[in-house]
Structure 1
Amino acid sequence: MQFIDLQAQQARIAADVEVRIKAVLAHGRYILGPEVAELEERLADYVGVRHCIGVASGTDALLVALMALDIGPGDEVITTPFTFVATAEMIALLGAVPKLVDIDPVTYNIEPQGIEAAIGPKTRAIMPVSLYGQCADMDAINAVADRHGLPVIEDAAQSFGARYKGRRSCGLSTIGCTSFFPSKPLGAYGDGGACFTEDDRLAARMRQAMNHGQDQRYSHPRLGINGRLDTLQAAVLLAKLAIFPDEVERRAVVGNRYTELLQARGARSVKDASDGLLTPHVAPGYTSVFAQYTLQADDRDAVVAKLKAQDIPTAVHYPIPLNRQGAYAQYCCPDCTPHADRAAARVFSLPMHPYLSAEDAERIAEAVAAA
């Protein structure tokens, strides 16, 4: 059993991928070829915004977004400690301070109330993370940002394709950023990412920032990076985008099936309990793309070990919150994020992909309940 079955997906799209890659090999424009522009147009239309800028990775997407907002030394950017390190890493690399705010224990996403309390005279932006496939409470976060005149960057590396009150992730704030790492809901065959915005000025700045800061050949009005999306990866993503809406629906079916099977065996929703085996909660008005199907357990390590003995793979996202990591401990007091600490000690994720069979889900749920 595989944690993520990319081979099943590849078999489905192999012919289209081959045709598209052959087209790239034929025209030879491996950097910023026509497939990149086509992908950007289609992704912008999918999200429902004016601009999409393809970049080399989800990490570069965050960096380019911050650079477009002129975030720099001494500035503070409010974000969450319960995320992949890239979120805070890009803030710190620019010399800014990632100010870490605790999570909502039900959704695992940053608490809007905590954001408001953390805003100070040096705050320049807010960067919520839409974790595990479900958007953060973007209306509440945007309301806080509007009161203080701050831009919002949604780190949507795990939520591309999810909906929030009828709108799609990446189109909910000043800038949306996502990742096309192979295991993501929409993944390339290597690294890739994208930034989304309605703002023409920010779009131009991000396009410059991802291409050495240039506005035309050998003209560099801004500091930039080499963060371009490869044409070959764009070709792969175009093939995958054709089946992506169907895969989003399949992910929802798998996620809901897991929840029904586990709750039938005694698990409870994380919304309704704080101990025992807890299933994820998708809030009303939200959808999740289940980048991970994440449970909580009182003795997580023992459960994981028992599942491993039955050849059922698991993963822990994330075992150590950023405020307890050596490079980031300085940005938050050790005991200021109790919900993130508790989640880090209890969460584990089950195999999750659009092609997980009902029989495998049944077997996994039975094994989890027994463990």
Structure 2
Amino acid sequence: MTTHVWDYLPEYEKERADILDAVETVFRSGQLILGRSVRGFEEEFAAYHGLAHCVGVDNGTNAIKLALQALGVGPGDEVITVSNTAAPTVVAIDAIGATPVFVDVREDDFLMDTGQVAAAITPRTRCVVPVHLYGQCVDMAPLRRLADEHGLKILEDCAQAHGARHHGRLAGTMGDAAAFSFYPTKVLGAYGDGGAVVTADEEVARRLRRLRFYGMEDRYYVVETPGHNSRLDEVQAEILRRKLTRLDAYTAGRRAVAARYAEGLADTGLVLPRTTPGNEHVYYVHVVRHPRRDDIIAALKDRGISLNISYPWPVHTMSGFAHLGQKPGSLPVTEALAGEIFSLPMYPSLPETLQDEVIDAVRTVLAELA
């Protein structure tokens, strides 16, 4: 039997009746596209964040893409972000004809080094995309000051930070807009793809609703500005409505697993996650660091424990982004992390027995490698 980094089946068994009732609710509603469930989820997710608007879309990548467009970013513009992220962050920037500009991350929490952003700003810079990675938030105050000084927009990438807080403020409430993914592994995950953008700006929200629906607004088949077919599915929206009521419980479960790991692995030499002062971590993934990462992963695989690396290849080193001209060595912290970080199993329904197996196996492997 293999212990996986993520597994939805224990959660599904516990919530099966509610999930199936959500499906039945939609199928009996008489409206399968942009109906009551999407509207209800949008209202409830916006309310959770204390914001006026939420626009549901088909996935997290398009949430970033459409949000950038709604904020006025387009071909020829530059968008400052990080390379230590999932590729979709950068794919979305590239897809609208904008140019990603990378800054490095911090050694201690692996998040955007906001001290490098000012030097990356040029006359073409239009937006900054801080990635709230692994479950905690980027330091937003200096970004807000820079954005206000230079007339830039801030789009928060919250795909990994549902419910995370920064000095008391929820991820997604500190920029001009915020993009979320509801991919099944997320802290708030659907049973398929899904995404959303939240914003306090009514005009940005109106643009988003047009962009996700071909560019139409009031009348079907009348395109006001060219858009996309990027609607959140009714079934996924209804499932997300039910799961949103349990988001805080999911977060508590993840924190409990992280605390158990912290206690069990404290004296092993493994670099454990550090929560930055002012942050409330939600542990989307439990990323640790060790110089013998590959040996550890191989040894644990032999013991039936499958681990993940988030992320083994920085985006700027990928062949698909060679046109950006970012040379190896230009982001030293990001590149160093790529060779040493890996993720331990993390999900709120991870049984304590499996947590103990992971802790014991990691301790054994590290002792053998010492």
Give the TM-score, by structure 2 length. Answer: 0.95
Answer yes or no: is 1:146 the counterpart of 2:148: yes
Give, in whole Å, the separation in 2 of the partners of 1:152 and 1:146: 10
Cα displacement (A) at 1:5: 2.5
Cα displacement (A) at 1:219: 2.6
Conserved 8 A contact 1:48-1:168: no
**Cross-structure match for 2:279:** 286
Answer yes or no: is 1:295 the counterpart of 2:288: yes
| Alignment equivalent of 1:324, drawn from 309, 312, 317 | 317
Give, in whole Å, the separation in 1 of the partners of 2:125 and 2:182: 29
| Alignment equivalent of 1:349, drawn from 343, 347, 350 | 343
**Cross-structure match for 1:10:** 12
| Alignment equivalent of 2:129, drawn from 118, 127, 137 | 127
Give, in whole Å, the separation in 1 of the partners of 2:81 and 2:29: 43
Name the amino acid aligned to 1:284: P
- Structure 1 residues 80-124: Cα deviation after superposition (integer angstroms, max 9, x where no partner): 011111111111111110011111111111111111110001001
Counterpart secondary structure, 1:328: helix
Cα displacement (A) at 1:351: 0.5
- Structure 1 residues 197-254: Cα deviation after superposition (integer angstroms, max 9, x where no partner): 0111111111111111112123322221101000011111112112221111111111
Answer yes or no: is 1:308 the counterpart of 2:311: no
Give, in whole Å, the separation in 2 of the partners of 1:364 and 1:58: 31
| Alignment equivalent of 1:252, drawn from 255, 259, 269 | 255
Give, in whole Å, the separation in 2 of the partners of 1:96 and 1:227: 20
**Cross-structure match for 1:272:** none
Q: Structure 1 vs Structure 2: percent identity of aligned residues?
A: 37
Give, in whole Å, the separation in 1 of the partners of 2:126 and 2:66: 15
Name the amino acid aligned to 1:135: C
**Cross-structure match for 2:368:** none
**Cross-structure match for 1:270:** none
Q: How does 1:209-228 map to 2 (within 5 A)?
A: 209-217=211-219, 218-228=221-231
Answer yes or no: is 1:231 the counterpart of 2:234: yes
Cα displacement (A) at 1:334: 2.4
Give, in whole Å, the separation in 2 of the partners of 1:130 and 1:192: 18
Counterpart secondary structure, 2:280: coil
Cα displacement (A) at 1:33: 1.2
Counterpart secondary structure, 1:108: coil
**Cross-structure match for 1:273:** none
**Cross-structure match for 2:80:** 78
Give, in whole Å, the separation in 2 of the partners of 1:253 and 1:137: 24
Give, in whole Å, the separation in 2 of the partners of 1:205 and 1:224: 9
- Number of matched pairs: 361
- Structure 1 residues 47-67: Cα deviation after superposition (integer angstroms, max 9, x where no partner): 121111110000010011011
Answer yes or no: is 1:50 the counterpart of 2:49: no
**Cross-structure match for 1:271:** none
Conserved 8 A contact 2:5-2:343: no
**Cross-structure match for 2:40:** 38
- Structure 1 residues 285-320: Cα deviation after superposition (integer angstroms, max 9, x where no partner): 211111110111111110000110111110001101
Name the amino acid aligned to 1:129: V
Conserved 8 A contact 1:13-1:239: no
Conserved 8 A contact 2:134-2:287: yes
Answer yes or no: is 1:206 the counterpart of 2:199: no
Counterpart secondary structure, 1:121: coil
Give, in whole Å, the separation in 2 of the partners of 1:107 and 1:142: 20
Give, in whole Å, the separation in 2 of the partners of 1:363 and 1:21: 36
Gaps of 5+ in 1: 268-276
Name the amino acid aligned to 1:200: E
Conserved 8 A contact 2:23-2:235: yes
**Cross-structure match for 2:182:** 180
Name the amino acid aligned to 1:92: D
Name which of structure 1's ranges 21-30 and 185-194 shifts more when overlaid on structure 2. 21-30
| Alignment equivalent of 1:360, drawn from 334, 354, 357 | 354
Give, in whole Å, the separation in 2 of the partners of 1:286 and 1:199: 25
Cα displacement (A) at 1:370: 2.2
Q: CA RMSD in A?
A: 1.2
